[in-house]
Amino acid sequence: MSSTTTQSGLARARRGVAPGGTGTVPGKRKSKLSAQATRTFFWLLLPSVVLLVLIHGYPLVYAAVQATHDGDLLQTGNFVGGQNFATVLTSPAFWKAAQFTLWFTIVGVFGSWLVGLGLALLLRTKIPGGGTFKVLLLLPWVVPIVVSSTAWNWLVATPDSLIPSLFRNLGMGTPLFLADPTLAAVTVMVFKVWVSFPFMMMMISAALASVDTTVYEAASMDGASRWQQFTQITLPLIARSTYISWILMTIFCVNDFPTIYLLTGGGPVNATTSLVVLAYRTVFQDFATGPGVAIAFLMTMTLVVISVILYRQIRKSSVE
């Protein structure tokens, strides 16, 4: 079978069209909402809108006020315009934290996605005790982060902890996983991947479950290899859920406070200080509310931009 024929077959397979099928998509039926239904929807939505405005709108406005004033947690202080933003944006600590946040997010999102994808595909095959494995693999996500960070601290904190001892016994020296700036950053990222992969695994498992197995049969008949089936059927078919999970995990990573704070406190010497940790420390340890809230605003804006880009990808993948 030629390559063109295989590609065409794969495209048909992705659309869920078996060999010989026409692939005609039923026409969309336009529906018009009646005026009464519109009113009903309006009243149904109103309580949620009111609650959203109260729960999110008010704090957002208050935070904007704090970000433009030089007050503290109790008093608003004087209006300083964009000075807090200027202070933050010219601070080396901010850019160092931004850099760490970027790496933490990239490793957190794609690391957990790769591990989650691998395990989801593995669990798709029929293996004895698959359900038990699934439950066990969920544990890192289910266990409270305080417990898992304490466990990880116990594993790596001192030269006599389990993992440094293992390295020493293997003749690889005694790595100080939380005391060395580079190793501490790596440890925190690995910890994040470990905590997050079950979420990715569940998202991908759910997406894979909705893929009709006949699609693979069709592709097989068209001569597609396992790799071609993976890259040209599996990945495109789970693309929508992948983009959603990326958006969610990006938000989880950027806003992740406990994973970092409980394991390293942002140290050593700010090596693992992310933007959210920096914002917390600025507000609650330095009592500098304005700059701290300004950092939080900048984070929010960045997250909105990333989310919009990824949402566009979702729309694009839906159209395709």
* Interaction of residue 227 with other proteins, rule CB under 8 A: no
Among 6, 7, 228, 270, binds other proteins (CB under 8 A): 270
Q: Please work out the total of residues on this chain that contact other proteins, with binding judged by CB under 8 A.
A: 39
Among 17, 119, 263, 298, binds other proteins (CB under 8 A): 263
* Interaction of residue 286 with other proteins, rule CB under 8 A: yes
Burial class of 124 by CB neighbour count within 10 A (0 to 12, 13 to 18, 19+):
middle
> Of 68-76, 116-124, 125-133, 235-243, which segment contacts other proteins by CB under 8 A?
68-76
DSSP code at position 12? H
d(CA 298, CA 292): 10
* Interaction of residue 73 with other proteins, rule CB under 8 A: yes
d(CA 235, CA 179): 40
Burial class of 179 by CB neighbour count within 10 A (0 to 12, 13 to 18, 19+):
middle
* Interaction of residue 176 with other proteins, rule CB under 8 A: yes
* Interaction of residue 269 with other proteins, rule CB under 8 A: yes
Nearest to 71 by CA among 58, 83, 60, 59: 83
d(CA 239, CA 200): 13
- One symbol per residue from 117 to 156: x for binding other proteins (CB under 8 A), - otherwise; what is it? ------------------------------------x---
Contact positions vs other proteins (CB under 8 A): 40, 43-44, 47-48, 50-51, 54, 72-75, 93, 153, 157-160, 176, 178-179, 184, 261-270, 281-282, 284-288
